Structures are given as C-alpha cells and as structure tokens.
Structure 1
Amino acid sequence: MNDQQRPRTPDAVVPVAAVPDAAPASRAFDGTWDLVAEFLARQGVDTVFGLPGDDVLVVSAFERAGIRLVWCRDQRLAVHMASGYAVTSGRTGVCVVGKGPAVANAVGGLLEAATGCSPVLLLAGGTAVESEGARTFQDAPALALAAPVTKWAGRVTHPDRLLPALRRAAALVREAPRGPVFLEIPDGFLEQRFEVVEHLLDSRPPLPARYTAPEPPAEVSGAKRPVVLAGGGLRGARVPGAAERLAEALGAALLVTASGRGSVAESHPLFCGLAGLYAQPPVRTLLDDCDLVVTLGSRLEETATEGLPQGVPVCQVNVDADEFSYDWPGPLVHGDAAATAHHWADALGTGAAGAGRETGPTRPADGGWTCRITAVRRDLEAWAALPAHPELPDDQVRVKAVVREISRALPERAVVVHENGLMDIWSYLYPVLRLPAGTRSVVPSEQTTLGYGAAAAAGAKLAAPEAPVVAIVGDGAFDLLRVELPTLLRERIGLTYVILDNGGYGWLQRMVDNLDGPPHLFTADDPARPEFDGGVLTWTVAKPADTAEALRAAMSAAAEGRVAVVRVRCSADDWPPVTGVASDEEIRACAAPAGPR
C-alpha cells in the first residue's frame, strides 16, 4: 500500500494541542461589606434598614455602593420597616444588625415577616469562626433563634462561601411563597480581601418551570352560588384583575382576606368586602348560603375562616403545598393563584380584562345569586352610613366617622397601612374604609405584632415615595415607634399617622369590660398624651367637626416630607362590631339596615 492508498484521519479528529479558555474575569474587594454591598446593588437593592454592631465599616461600604442607609434605633422596628418596604414595592427588603442580642431583638420582626410572606433579607454579625465555643462577647445561638421563623438561616463559615451564601439567600427570599432569610457573617474575616468571579455577582433568581394551569375542577365549573376569596398571595400579581375575572366567570361574590386587600378593585359590582373576623352580618348570611368557596393565595388562617360554612367545598389555589389548609373539604390546586384564576376565567368564557367583550357567567348559575350579592352590597352601604354607638355623647368623636373621612381624603394609588388593635379594626371594615383604585394595603399577618404597622409605614413610604402613605394605628402601637421618630425626621420620611387614642390598650380593656372588671385598667380616663417633640406636626381631633380639616392639613404636610400626626381622642366604648369584641346581638343591632330600600 502506497501513501496515496493509506487511509487518512478525518480532519475533525486530528489531535491538536488544547488551547485553554481565557480565565473568567475576577473582581477584588477589600472587605466583607464591600462585597455584600456590591452584590446587593446589582440585585437592585437601593435601601437598607438596620442598626449595625461594632463593625461600622458597613456604613461606608453601602455608601460607596450608592445604597441608602436608614439606620434605626431598634432592630425589631428596622425589620418591620424592611417588611413594609418589601410588601409595598414587591422587592426584597434588606436589614443589617449586629450579633447576639441584636439578632434576638430582631426575631419578632422575622416572625411577622414569615407569616406575612414578606421577602426580607436579614444580615447579621456573628462570632468569629476561630472563636466558636470560647464564650466570646455577645456570642449567641443566632441560627437557632432565626431558623424557626425564616425560610433559611445560614452562617458563612469560610470567606470563599460568602458569595455563594449571598446568592442562595437572594434566590430563596424571592422564591414563592416569599419570606424572610437570615445570613450570619462572622467577625473573623470582615476585613479580609476577597476575589470573586465577576459574573457571579450578577446573580439572577431561578427561572420558574413552565406552568400549565389545570382545567377548573368539577366543583368549580358546577357551582351555582359560589364565592371567590382573594388572599395575600395575589399581592403584586404581574397581571392584575385575576380575582375579578374569575368572579365574573362564575357569577360569584368576591371577598378578600385582610392581607388580600388592595389586590381587588373595591368598586367592582361583585365585591362585598372582607371575609372572616371582619365580615359583617350581610356577608356572613351570604356565606351561609353559598355552595363553593374558591380561595386564591390564602393560607386560610383563623381570622380568614371565621364564618365559612362547614361542609361546603373549599377549592384552594396555592403556590406551595405547605400553604394549603388541610382542615377543609374540596380540591387543592397547586399553582400560581393569579395565573390559575385567569386561566379558569378563560376556560369559563370571560374575555380578557378591558377587551370590551361581554363578561359574566357562562355556566348555569343560580339566577338569584347575583341579586343576593347586589342586596348585600346595598345593606353594607346602608350600614356604613349609620352613625356608630348612638348611646355615646353627641360631641364624642366616632372612629367609624373618622375612618370614613379617611376614605374620602385618600387619592388613587395611595398606600394605607394598618395596625390591629381595637379602634383600628374599624379600618378593616368595608365599606367604612373603601380603598380607591390602585391603593396598596399593608396589614399585619395573623401574628398582629404590636407596632408592626406603625414601623412598616416608614418602609412603605420609602418604597413608594410619590404615593401618599396613611397609617391608621392605635396609641399603644404608636408608642413603640416613638424611639424611631428621630429616624423618620432625619430621613424626611413624610407620611401621615392617624392615632386612635384611648389612652392605652383598648382591646384588653374591652375584654375586662365584658367581665365587669374595673374601668380604665388598660386605658386612661382622659386619653390625651403629651405632644411630640422635635419636629413632628400634630393635629388633635377632639370633636367630630375637626376631622376633615385635620386630615387635609396633615396629608398636605406629609407631602412636603414632614411626619404628620392626627391624634383622635376616642373612647374604648367605641368598639367595632366584630366577633370577640362584641356579642352576636350587638353586632346584629349595629348592622341593621337603615330603613326601607
């Protein structure tokens, strides 16, 4: 065989010397907080709340990264502010605290964020790795404290693990269902030089798998007297109007939980207000007669299920199996609540929102159900117009009337923040408070942590600087915020607080009153408090005619970056008609319609 006859090796497999790829670009940092700040900035974080420990290098690191620092005076309130920022903006709220007791103080904020599904990242200092077990100063079991109330609690054990830990935390805090994440950064390598791969700083959240919503279960498509209940899982939905479209398709009454408020247009003709603890008798009667409840993004905690009929199927739609309540009959649908509702609305025949096509039920619904819904709305409107507690003196300010004035004063696309004491429960009752179009609502979770709303309002304002923010709080809750008033003034966080002031803890006083206990054990006979110092603008409402002008002036001052307080002097006898405060007889009497229709 000559050379021309010898088989040739194909070019594709001719061995060649390997040419190494160019090394990925790297980035050097002079210390831990420089790396943390750069990572957060690339994640879109523009504001950080907190109270640092001895390591004040964090201050200059965040300033160099262009991140606004809101340094607070209390770690728990700082977490609440980060939570209010997160709920209002839909982005991650970040909080930085020291180690040991600072983490312990922040745990109450983490608990509220966990049950409220707030995406909060808490970064804390920690004992140096080489000093573990040496009984060092402020050593504490931070992971054990944080783990029960977070999605993940981690500790960086080596400098090389800092960036991977940050990437994991950023992914988990945003993954549905959202919730808080805790990361402890030990002291030992705070000033160590870091070098990381540049492109790893641009971490992005995991891409969700393609979601195909199932067809409506038979219980849904066959219901004749359905109710749609929108929960907090609909907050921040990419495509709004999901609950409304499904209610239209089913011919269903439309209700919300407390945390779901703001996710549904309250002007919708099928909307009947809140379910559960805050449902008034006309709504409870409607629920008694329904044959299906569809819940969208609700955990069905106790305050949401009070009054739901036993034995009626409850079709739950939730993004995670752990979010379902397993106490109710009915199908469990695993998926995004908004996407599922839109898909079911399409399947049942309604057109896209705003498309000009006819909307309405395409399945055989009970012909009188829509009329019932309309009648319930009419009864609620009549009740809201009634004066509350006619047994009180005529010159006594009624909280119900104050809340109605707030409704009139609110512009579209405002932010309303709630507490959950006695007097401020009036603000949960629809249509005493009616949210204008596009209004966002920030409420405590089922934990109803005292002081959450008062602090969260500051974070809400920083998340929505162009929106008027009105916080409706009790005096007990606002007292917890007093330590942070200098923070609000320094940062020019302009918002309006309406303080319903009965001189103490009205809910507890009402419980004592129901047992014929001593008057004013938890509230003062005269609820007037000392005025605030240091630049807080205050208006006192002592008689009904003062309310509208005080609200107008306060909201105008807040628009100029001032902290404005409207203090309403009220009585613990001005209780809201909800279970646990009032008897069934009192609630029915309070909700009696105002004369013939």
Structure 2
Amino acid sequence: MNEQRPPARPASSGTPAHASAVFDGAWDLVAAFLARRGVDTVFGLPGDDVLVVAAFERAGIRLVWCRDQRMAVHMASGYALTSGRIGVCVVGKGPAVANAVGGLLEAASGCSPVLLLAGGTAIESDGARAFQEAPQLALAAPVTKWAGRVTHTGRLLPALRRAAALVAQAPRGPVFLEIPDGFLAEPVSVPQALLDGEPPVPGRYTAPDLPAEVARARRPVVVAGGGLGAAGAAERLAEALGAALLVTASGRGGVAESHPLYCGLAGLYALPPVRELLGDCDVVVALGSRLEETAAEGLPDGVPVCQVNIEAGEFSYDRPGPLVLGEASATAEQWAAALGHREADAGWLSRIAASRERLRSWAASPAHPELPADRVRVKSVVRELSRVLQPGSVVVHENGLMDIWSYLYPVLTLPEGARSVVPSEQTTLGYGAAAAAGAKLAAPDAPVVAIVGDGAFDFLRVELPTLVREGIAVTYVVLDNGGYGWLQRIVDNLGGRPHLFAATAPVRPDPEHGVATWVVTEPADTAGSIAAALAAAREGRVAVVRVPCAADDWPPVAGAASEAEIHASLRQAPAANANANANGSGTGAGPGEHT
C-alpha cells in the first residue's frame, strides 16, 4: 500500500507530440492528474476499492479519510472556499453517493468548487441488481454543474479534464464523476500532451459603461456578495459614489470592515439603522450576489437594483434595474475610475456615519438586560471573540439561533485580512462545523474559529477523532442550549409547549478524549476560556469552548424576534433618529417606518 514508485512511465520513445504515459490503474491516473493541477489534499471515505488509497499516497497527496461522506464533502467545501482551489472528495458507491448528495446541495448553493469522485458498479453489471447499484447520476445531476460516468479507460482523462474545467469556471460549483468498478486495476495509457494540458484560460474582459441610474444617484448603497472577486474593489466604488457599503453573508471577508462607509450585513441580518438606510436609498448596486431571499430581504420596492454577475443565471429577475454581465470586481474598479472625483451627497454621508455610530453603541451595550445578571449572554461571548481575533483569521459560521449573533456587525467585527466561510441559502446543519476543518487545512498558519450551535456540533462529533488524528487544530465556540433553539423560539412565539426542541439546561456531554475543552459557566469565565482555547489550537490541538445558554437569548433578526423586540434591542431614541434624518437628504424615516 505504501510502496513509493513513479505514477506513470513512458509508453514509447516517439516524438513528444505522440508520446504517451501508462498508469498501473485508473486511480493512479486520477491522482497524477490532480497533482498536476495543484491538488494537495483529498477528503473522503473510500469504498471497497482501496486501490485509491495507495494511488493518492504515491502521488504525494494528503488523504483525510473521514467517517461520514457528507461531512467529507463539507470539509472539501471549506477547503475550497478558503484556498480558492478545487476541493476534492472521494467516496464509494451506492449509499455513499446518496449520503454525499446533501454536501453537493450545499456546495451548489454556495458556489463551492468541489469535485466528488465516486465508485460505481461495473459496467458489465448494469441492470443486473449488482451490489450497491444505484442511480448515482440521477442523484447527483440536479445538484451539480455536471454529473458524468466514465465508461471506458480511454474516456477517463477527457472526463477528468472536463470536470476540472467546469468545477472552477465561474460561477463555480460542484461536479460529480463516477468511476465504475471493473477496469480500475487495468493499465491506462494516455497521451502525454492531454495529461499535461493547461486548464482553460479566461479571455480578456472589458467592463460595460456605468449605468445612468447609478451615475445620477445621490443616496446609493453598494452590496458586495460572495462573487465579488478581488478585494478592495467594492470599497473603491463606494468611495467614488459616496455609498453605504454592505455585504451579504457570503460576501463577508471581501470588504474591509474598518472602512468608514461599511455598515455591516444586508438582508436578514441588517439591523434597523441599516434597514433605514436601505429604505431611503435611490439605487442599490449588487456586486456578485444572487440576491437570494435572505440577502434581498429589506431591499426597497421600486428602487432600481443594478446587478453585476458573471453569468445570466446568477441574476435575480424580480427587481427593476440594469443587469450587467461581467466580473464584479473588475466592473466596480472601472466604474470607480469613471466616476473620478464626483462630489458625494454630504447629507447621505452624514447619515451613514450616524448609522455606524448607532451600531457601535448598540454592540457595546448589554444584551437582554431582563435576564439574570449571572447568565452568560451570547452577544458578550461573540463580542469577546471579536476582540481577540487576529488579522488573517478564518471565521466559520453555522446558521442556527444562537450563532446568528456572529452575523451581526459590529458584535463580530472581522480584523484586517480575515476570511469568512458561511453556509449557503440551504443552511445545511453541520456544514460550518465540518467546513472549518477543511478551512484549517487550506490555511494551516491561520487561526480558524468556528461559531456553531450544539445541534450543528453534534453532526461533527463523529469526525472529532478524524480531526484529532489529523491534527486539524480548529477552535470551536459551541453555543449550547441543549437542542434546536430556532425551532424552540418559533414555538415560544406561538405560545406552544416549552422545551419541545431545547432543554431547560444544556445537556450535551463534553467532547471526547483528545479534545481540549472549556465550559463557560459565568460571564467572567468568557475571556479566559476563549484565550486558552486559542492558545491550545496554536499548539496543534482541537479546542472547544462550550457556552451553556438558553433559547430566550435571541438575536434581533426577523424570525427570532418581533419588530418591536428588534427595535427595543437597539434602544432607539426617536429624537436622535429624527436628528439623523434631518441631516440627510430625501425623505427621512422615523423609527419603525422602514422595516
């Protein structure tokens, strides 16, 4: 299994144009192809065909063998989103592919370039009710950019080239390739020129002219999504326009949160000061966002939304405004240059500054003063984490009730150079917990912190031995209410049975042997526990900070809280808001008028 030998050997001494290489088996070709494309890590859980293990070892590719196929796909996704490279996952056939489909769904929704390689029943056994025969292409096709099956050794290399090109082409997304049993141990001969062939080269790009709706706007908003691209472009366009600068959840990390025009997140996670700006804006420029439901929530009706996306299928066709096909960052850069030294609306800039100040003041205030003084509040835990995050950190999110606090700026403020990994619109439970492991392997020198609920962390428990074995030193902040807090909050709002989905007190056991664990039982324990966990992770240990909390420590977002509770949480003063509106241009809005 561990015998080291060259993965390929020349098949002839002819001219280079006609040279070929021979591999001992199909998996040796797969491994050599991926190594040539810069792949250094593969996740997964192989089936009975363990030849794949030896093939990747011979190619010098690190193998992270997991205990669950879906978790493996999530790890590959976190690796891909953090590194910008392809995340590769290998699984067996039949139920293994079915189990991995949930990971493909998340990767497709989150534009994550994951290549899933799977086994399959032998071609000669098609339709014969072979062991673990399953409609794998039918399962994978709806949630991938392409799902293919190799039917002959001569078709393996072309299929690999196609898969690698499609997975990385914008908009990026997952690809599935089935490699059936039957010819895996046969020698494979391929043309050397195809094996060494370069991936497709993008053509030159020319950004379109600035739309008139954007050029004449006096109260603009720029929203940067996960498809923005190069850092700094959104900031320069916002400066040129004099625009409030927002991000979607997936766009976080692409914009410097220290920028004076930055006001946090749009959509579901937009707090009242931000929603009031959106309610009074006269144009929205959305860069690299699909404007899914949670990202578009709160956008004003009738106001033009100028969308910039690389592909027509990425646009939201529900809103008026120009639809611009192009690379988001390059377009933003050209538009900023075209605007030159345009004079921004002073009143609008004043309102942006006032909104930022209101957000900062709220972030510094205690959460839920009606709760007992000795209760550990999630807002304070996230704020403490924000204080100690280092530049260049990777912050990974889940999407339950308690961890929504980590989406709320400036409770959590990302330092310079930080990256963020978030679930897609699917919000697959356990995605962030597993993706953090892939993120750490993609950025081994960066602190990686995952903020997760206990329900999501339960999905990762099966993989904790994997993380310990591989030395994947992630710090997990586990917000533990003993169940599914979001569901319990909905039940509470409807007057339903208490503790139907969440326990009266957290009931989760501490992680198993090999994981460094701290439990925050008093507010005063927070800072020391987080600092100790981060220190343990720097030493190469998996670290967990468990924070017992209750479902009534809700974040002020729609669904978790009523409008009255959301506004009350910010302790809005009508007089102060009126003064802010008086300094702005257009029709100012009082408290509650824009939601």
Instruction: State the TM-score, normalizing by the size of structure 2.
Output: 0.93
What amino acid is the match of 2:18? P
Deviation of 1:385 (Å): 1.0
**Matching residue within 252, 255, 279 for 1:261:** 252
What amino acid is the match of 1:184? E
Deviation of 1:202 (Å): 2.2
Moved more, 103-112 or 239-248: 239-248
SS of the residue corresponding to residue 552 of structure 1 reads helix
**Matching residue within 246, 253, 260 for 2:237:** 246
**Matching residue within 511, 516, 541 for 2:490:** 511
What amino acid is the match of 1:87? L
Deviations 1:36-64, CA, capped at 9 Å, x for gaps:
00000000000000000000010010000
Deviation of 1:533 (Å): 1.9
**Matching residue within 489, 494, 500 for 2:468:** 489
Match of 2:23 in 1: 29
**Matching residue within 197, 200, 207 for 1:206:** 200
What amino acid is the match of 2:37? Q
**Matching residue within 87, 108, 119 for 1:125:** 119
**Matching residue within 455, 459, 475 for 1:480:** 459
SS of the residue corresponding to residue 283 of structure 1 reads helix
Quote the Cα distance in structure 1 between the aligned partners of 2:468 and 2:552: 34
Deviation of 1:364 (Å): 5.0
Deviations 1:202-231, CA, capped at 9 Å, x for gaps:
232211122110110101111110000000
What amino acid is the match of 1:372? R
**Matching residue within 380, 401, 406 for 1:422:** 401
SS of the residue corresponding to residue 232 of structure 1 reads coil
Match of 1:232 in 2: 226
1:276 aligns with 2:267: yes
Quote the Cα distance in structure 1 between the aligned partners of 2:428 and 2:196: 36
Match of 2:169 in 1: 175
Question: After superposition, where does 1:349-428 map in structure 2 within 5 Å?
Answer: 349=340, 362-363=341-342, 365-428=344-407
Contact 1:43 1:202 in 2 (8 A): no
**Matching residue within 482, 503, 509 for 1:530:** 509
Deviations 1:253-301, CA, capped at 9 Å, x for gaps:
0000000000000000000000000000000011000000000000000
| RMSD, matched Cα | 1.2
Is there any run of 5+ residues in structure 1 with no aligned partner, and where? 1-19, 350-361
Q: Percent identity?
A: 77
Contact 2:477 2:545 in 1 (8 A): yes
Contact 1:536 1:564 in 2 (8 A): yes
Change (3 A) 1:506 1:22: closer
Deviations 1:369-398, CA, capped at 9 Å, x for gaps:
000100000000011111111111000000
Quote the Cα distance in structure 2 between the aligned partners of 1:204 and 1:556: 42
SS of the residue corresponding to residue 240 of structure 1 reads coil
Match of 1:161 in 2: 155
Deviation of 1:366 (Å): 2.8
Quote the Cα distance in structure 1 between the aligned partners of 2:346 and 2:223: 21
1:500 aligns with 2:500: no
SS of the residue corresponding to residue 475 of structure 2 reads strand
Match of 2:89 in 1: 95
SS of the residue corresponding to residue 295 of structure 1 reads strand
SS of the residue corresponding to residue 199 of structure 2 reads coil
Change (3 A) 1:28 1:364: same
**Matching residue within 138, 147, 151 for 1:144:** 138
1:310 aligns with 2:296: no
1:116 aligns with 2:110: yes
Quote the Cα distance in structure 2 between the aligned partners of 1:157 and 1:81: 29
Contact 1:555 1:564 in 2 (8 A): yes
Quote the Cα distance in structure 2 between the aligned partners of 1:119 and 1:319: 16
**Matching residue within 530, 550, 570 for 1:571:** 550
SS of the residue corresponding to residue 342 of structure 1 reads helix
Quote the Cα distance in structure 1 between the aligned partners of 2:185 and 2:333: 51
What amino acid is the match of 1:310? D
Moved more, 202-211 or 179-188: 202-211
Match of 2:8 in 1: none
Match of 2:434 in 1: 455
How many residues matched?
Answer: 563
Is there any run of 5+ residues in structure 2 with no aligned partner, and where? 1-13, 580-595
Deviations 1:332-391, CA, capped at 9 Å, x for gaps:
000000000001111111xxxxxxxxxxxx335432000010000000001111111111
Question: After superposition, where does 1:39-50 map in structure 2 within 5 Å?
Answer: 39-50=33-44
Contact 2:284 2:306 in 1 (8 A): yes
Deviation of 1:23 (Å): 5.2
What amino acid is the match of 1:435? L
Contact 2:17 2:193 in 1 (8 A): no
Change (3 A) 1:507 1:24: same
Deviation of 1:504 (Å): 0.3
Quote the Cα distance in structure 1 between the aligned partners of 2:297 and 2:510: 40
Deviation of 1:592 (Å): 1.9
1:348 aligns with 2:342: no
SS of the residue corresponding to residue 311 of structure 1 reads coil
Contact 1:82 1:93 in 2 (8 A): yes
Quote the Cα distance in structure 2 between the aligned partners of 1:363 and 1:218: 14
Match of 2:32 in 1: 38
Contact 1:495 1:559 in 2 (8 A): no
SS of the residue corresponding to residue 50 of structure 1 reads strand
Match of 1:584 in 2: 563
SS of the residue corresponding to residue 499 of structure 1 reads strand
Contact 2:147 2:175 in 1 (8 A): yes
Deviations 1:54-109, CA, capped at 9 Å, x for gaps:
00010010000000000000000000000000000000000000001100000000
Match of 2:68 in 1: 74
What amino acid is the match of 1:131? S
What amino acid is the match of 2:308? V
Match of 2:593 in 1: none
Quote the Cα distance in structure 1 between the aligned partners of 2:337 and 2:141: 42
Deviations 1:146-168, CA, capped at 9 Å, x for gaps:
00000000000111000000000
Contact 1:256 1:274 in 2 (8 A): yes
Contact 1:418 1:472 in 2 (8 A): yes
Match of 1:9 in 2: none
Contact 2:454 2:508 in 1 (8 A): no
Contact 2:505 2:550 in 1 (8 A): no
Contact 2:25 2:187 in 1 (8 A): yes
Change (3 A) 1:368 1:154: same
SS of the residue corresponding to residue 18 of structure 2 reads coil
